[in-house]
Amino acid sequence: MTPGLLLLFDLLLPAVLLWLAWRSLTSSDLFRAVILFIAFSLLLALAWVRMEAPDVALAEAAIGAGVTGALLLVALARIESAAGRRLSPSARWRSAALVLTGTALLAAAAGLLWSLRLLPTMPGGLGPLVDRHLAESGVDHPVTAVLLNFRGYDTLLEVGVLLLAAIAIWCLDEAVPFLQQPLESQLLTGFNRMMLPILLLSSGYLLWLGSHAPGGAFQAASLLAAGMLLALFSGASLPAQWSGLPLRLLLVLGFFAFLAAAIIGPLTGRALLHYPPAWEKPLILLVEWLLTLSIALILTAAVIGGRPTGSRLYPPPSSPSAEGRRQ
Amino acid sequence: MNAVLLTHPWSIWTIIVPLAAAVLAFLVPRRAPLAGIITALSVALFVAATAYRIFLAGPHIQLLGGWQAPLGITLRVDGPALIMLLTSGLVGLTVSFYAAGYFTAADRQERRQQHYFWPLWLLLWAGCNALFLSGDLFNLYVTLELVTLSSIALAALNGSSAALDGAMRYLMAGLLGSLSYLLGVALIYGAYGTVDLTLLGQTVRADGLSRAALALMTAGLLLKTALFPLHFWLPPAHASAPPPVSALLSGLVVKAPLLILFRLWFEVFPDTATAGMAHLLGILGCGAIIWGSLMALRQQRLKLLVAYSTVAQIGYFFLLFPLARGEAAATAWVGVFLLVLAHGCSKASMFLVCGTITRLAGHDRLTGLAGAGGTLGARLLVFALAAVTLVGMPPSSGFIAKWLLINAAIVTGQWWYLATIALGTLLASGYVIRVLSLAFTESQSPPLPIAPRILRWPPLALAVVALLLGLAAFHPAVLTLAGAPVSGIILLEMVP
Amino acid sequence: MSVSLVYTAAGIILFLLGTYGLVAYAHLLRKILAANIMGSGVFMVFIAVAGRTPGAPDPVPHAMVLTGIVVTVAFTSVALALAVRIARTSNRAHLPGRDEEQR
């Protein structure tokens, strides 16, 4: 593209993003709002590509648009079937408070935007430092090196947050089947037969790519999760004998492996997450593979939205009024 | 032996052990209470080892992955972190024992709560300890999210409508707070190219951009600490959660964003924050003390009363910002950190007593509790013991802490803060006496059954520890200043 | 350089837009959507800042945004599960107002 066209693109893209966000927030129909949000996320992925952040673009498209979109759509259907489509009227005190909020936010916008002039014109950043130590990290792709080695501690805790989300969701409710009966559509079955191997393959490819190019465990996991969800939508289900301990084991496997790799360091007189020399590569690879599997299952469990039914360990919650009294 | 004690990274095990135990508790729910108790004992041990190491060898930095900052993340094992870890260890240990007795497998509903409490609480504990030790702005965000999300799940644990609404309000406030904090971190990275606290402390310029970032981060953290007038989400969430959870939320979780605030204001941005900004926080703190106490006075339910008391007590912590000035800095610093420890123990104890009373009486309405007999009287005695620290009567640790704050107010000549502390103490005695008077009310209601031992001892132990800490406050006070951003001597204008 | 400033500014406006949505709307799904828009704004500031360095963009903010995206999806999933549970328990998709709470 010529510089002129590129400049036009750089002005147009943020403008369209802002417009989509605004429309998504204000659209009176919630289904429409969610669709607009998914469009917003996809366009955001384009912006990340433009800003030379291909890893983030992949994650945004797969997790921001894909998984979050699926989560929102499924939740919307469930909320509306339980609470109805009627939007609650906003209370009257709100209008005054809202004007106040709006004014405060406008003032904040002015202050923040004005302060941006103080951003250094020639910032340092950590890019050169990452490059210098890349050879010692066990991977060849800078973003993966930061995620799994230099700032691996962040990633360890972040996977902990994901696992925590799955536990919290299981604690809240039981899973309700998506469909009373599996869809017996020829089209869907044919589509699935085609899509599932493609998703599986591309997930493996992304994971493999992550060690030296944009890609990695999180992006691969969301593709894998998409495959699992497709299978679920067309009526597949986990065998009942798998929904107990085996499923829980698979959910925690990635996190547990990461944790085990992390404590090799302190047990051998090194720092936490300091892998023994020459072991970095195989350890990181192993952790990544197991993480992909567990994260895919956690994301799938999040969309299903509840603990597996029929487990003897976790009986269904009794009626809310009875619980209220016990409290 | 001593060499290992003084060189081994003990502090990291306070994070790793709960993380691993949370996984095990989730895998084998039947053994979850056992995993919880073993974890509680070992975390207490690791905190003690960390304290020993700091006491003998001084504060230190722990590298992660073997990488120096700014490339890697570092842990700061210093005095302020240690006081927080001590609070976490004491509160966590006792609440774990209490919870092992409170959540039983009596019926299906209780079994569900028991099975989910342990993995969630252990993740929360790991998150708290990780946050207290973190020396990296972005890592603080991740730990903060671990703490918030597990707190929300715990607040919703009993599944009642009130608990779900409280958890949702908490979640919304939490999201707003953490994203605001994260935007501040993004601006800081843009300006300085690092998120390491120590490096930032050396390079930060006192300009408009730093102030904007500090304002964003502070606003987000104020929402998360529930400082008046951003406290709206706290009372419903804390009051509708199961009692062991309330004890953890009030005793431990509100202190997590507080430590980040202290680190930001005193270590990273000491010159960026203006005196006006510090006074604003101080005034909001005064507002919290007065408003929270007044609301506590008019509550009809015991748990809500204690929850509003937390809103009030949070206010005292914010007096640090205007009081830690000039030669009074060390005095105010030690006072506030002692108060964190004192409040953590006493408030957790009070919520646990609430839990026992609710379990016995079936409700916690104040009018309905009047004169319920000798059993209740004994529970209320424990409540009173914990309240001695909360109100700040001698010889408790709460008294020493408030005494130091009062001295800092005198040294810096800020009488209005002294007046607020005095008024807050008066109001606190008011709502505590209101509860205690119940024990002396004549009533025909039948006496309550005696609580099981495991529901009686933990709150008593915490109350006694809080009280006795006042007699042994010297060591914690010295440790508080190890590696702290303020230094100097502890000034006492008035000696008790 | 100026391009990155445009995206930084857009990120800040997205953040504030999301904040308004989170505060102003009662429907829980809308609030959760707004929080996601806030998050996108913050991530945009990170990415824009990473693009300011001379040469290849700084990978550290990219990794931070990846972490942020995953943490946000974790929060979103719990928030939605909670919203669904509230809808099923109380037949409403919003939190009770001040008047309702007094009951």
What pLDDT, on a 0 to 100 scale, did the predictor assign at position B475? Answer: 82
A-B CB pairs within 8 A amount to: 180
Residue B303 — pLDDT band, cuts 50, 70, 90? very high
Mean pLDDT, residues B355-359 taken together: 90
Instruction: Provide the CB-side half-sphere exposure for A219 (13 A, CA).
Output: 28
Percent of chain B topping pLDDT 90: 77
Would the pLDDT of C24 be above 90?
A: no
A-facing residues of B in 340-399 (CB < 8 A) are 358, 362
The residue of chain C nearest to residue B153, with distances taken between CA atoms, is C78
Which helix (H) or strand (E) segment holds residue B61: the answer is: strand B60-63
What do you get for the CA distance between the two ends of chain C, in Å? 57
Residues of C in contact with A21 (CB under 8 A): 14, 17-18, 37, 40
What pLDDT, on a 0 to 100 scale, did the predictor assign at position A13? Answer: 95
What pLDDT, on a 0 to 100 scale, did the predictor assign at position A180? Answer: 56
Residues in chain A predicted with pLDDT less than 50, given as ranges, are 88-92, 314-327
Mean pLDDT of chain C: 90
CB A211, CB A198: distance < 8 Å: no
CB B92, CB B82: distance < 8 Å: no
What pLDDT, on a 0 to 100 scale, did the predictor assign at position B80? Answer: 95
Partner-chain residue, chosen from C12, C46, C75, that has the shortest CB–CB distance to B175: C75
- Report the C-alpha gap between A29 and A20 in whole angstroms: 14
Mean pLDDT, residues C42-71 taken together: 93
What's the pLDDT tens digit per position in B103-120?
988 777 788 899 999 999
- Report the C-alpha gap between C84 and C72 in whole angstroms: 18
Q: Does C69 touch chain B (CB under 8 A)?
A: no
The interface pTM score, or ipTM, of the predicted complex is 0.95
Partner-chain residue, chosen from C42, C74, C86, that has the shortest CB–CB distance to B179: C42
- Looking at per-residue confidence, does B440 or B1 come out higher? B440
Q: Does A83 touch chain B (CB under 8 A)?
A: no
Q: What are phi and psi of B20, to 5 degrees?
A: -65, -40
What's the pLDDT tens digit per position in B430-466?
999 988 887 677 665 666 777 888 888 999 999 999 9
Residue B390 CA to its chain's centroid (Å)? 13
Which of A299-313, B225-239, B261-275 bottoms out in mean pLDDT, i.e. has the lowest?
A299-313
Residues of A in contact with B9 (CB under 8 A): 266, 271-272
Judge if pTM exceeds 0.90: yes
CB spacing of B175 vs C89 below 8 angstroms = no
- Nearest Cα neighbor of C29 from A31, B180, A41 is A31
Mean pLDDT of chain B: 92
What pLDDT, on a 0 to 100 scale, did the predictor assign at position C76? Answer: 97
Residues of A in contact with C19 (CB under 8 A): 105
CB C73, CB C79: distance < 8 Å: no
Residue B3 — pLDDT band, cuts 50, 70, 90? confident
Mean pLDDT, residues B387-403 taken together: 92
**Chain B neighbors (3+ CB pairs < 8 Å):** A, C
- Report the C-alpha gap between B281 and B259 in whole angstroms: 15
Partner-chain residue, chosen from B29, B152, B191, that has the shortest CB–CB distance to A120: B191
What pLDDT, on a 0 to 100 scale, did the predictor assign at position B334? Answer: 95
Crossing angle for the helix pair A152-172 and B10-27, to the nearest 10 degrees = 30
- Nearest Cα neighbor of B184 from B130, B235, B223, B221 is B221
CB spacing of A24 vs C37 below 8 angstroms = yes
Would the pLDDT of C67 be above 60?
A: yes
